[in-house]
Amino acid sequence: MNSRKTRFRDAFLNGDTLIGSFLKIANTQPAEILGAAGYDFVVVDEEHAPFSRESTDRIILACKAWDIAALVRVQGPAPEMILSVLDCGADGVLVPHVDSADKARAVVSAARYAGGARGYSPTTRAGRFGGARMQAHTEAQDARVTVIAMIEDVAALDHLDEIMAVDGLDGIFIGRGDLTVAMGQSSGTAAPVAEAVGMITDAARRAGKAICVMSSSASDMRSLAAQGATAFITSSDQTLLKSAAAQGLEEARAALAST
């Protein structure tokens, strides 16, 4: 995806194949490196990593500089959490633990102006610091902001069609880690988890919702792609650093041991 020509939301809704990574390190450089490498998007993980409002703001700015879409996994569905990152200019939000249609509607309302209740201020990065006129700003934001519900609770499985039917919800992220723990399983490939994933992807396809997943192996990605997933989070900045560090250390020790 070339974000200079195609907004993330347009590509996501179009079913383009998108590759991204979670960000866990509260610094701009991981986002810049991934942008330079050609990744399509990053997800700033405010739910599980130590980001502040200010560090998230800086990373969103860095993403704009390096032409990579910036999504934020917010800590929860509270409107102020969603508003904060959208005003900073995030391309969208992943909202955890959406287990009912009512919660999905509340999330959409917090993220949208038309038909919603997003708080308005033009003096933000999203509003070009006062440079965007009201109607132009609200229409552009509603067209650009991507709203993704995380389906990761057993309770959500009984309400999938109702959740997927919520107008303004662009897609879903399947949280296999939480589902695995909630089901008392030890692997995301366990049969009950795989069955739940199949239920979620079936419901998303019926409703025409885009599907985002976390996947790090080629066989798993192919399997999920066959079920309709098009946006893939393949790793995190921490994992990439850890993997490269371990490999570099192993290679250095092997080289020195042979001298």
Catalytically active residues, by annotation: 48
Helix (H) or strand (E) holding 77, with range, is none
Beta bridge partners of 20: 41, 233
Query: How many residues are given for the chain?
Result: 259
Other C-beta atoms closer than 10 Å to the C-beta of 181 total 14
Beta bridge partners of 188: none
The torsion angles phi and psi of 220, rounded to 5 degrees, stand at: -65, -40
3-class SS of residue 134:
helix
Other C-beta atoms closer than 10 Å to the C-beta of 138 total 18
Q: Would you state the structure tokens that stand for residue 233, as one six-digit string?
A: 């989070």
CB 170 within 8 A of CB 145: no
Query: CA dist 98 to 9, 31, 136, 141, Å?
Result: 20, 27, 30, 22
CB 65 within 8 A of CB 93: no
39 Cβ contact partners less than 8 Å away, ≥ 6 residues apart: 19, 20, 21, 68
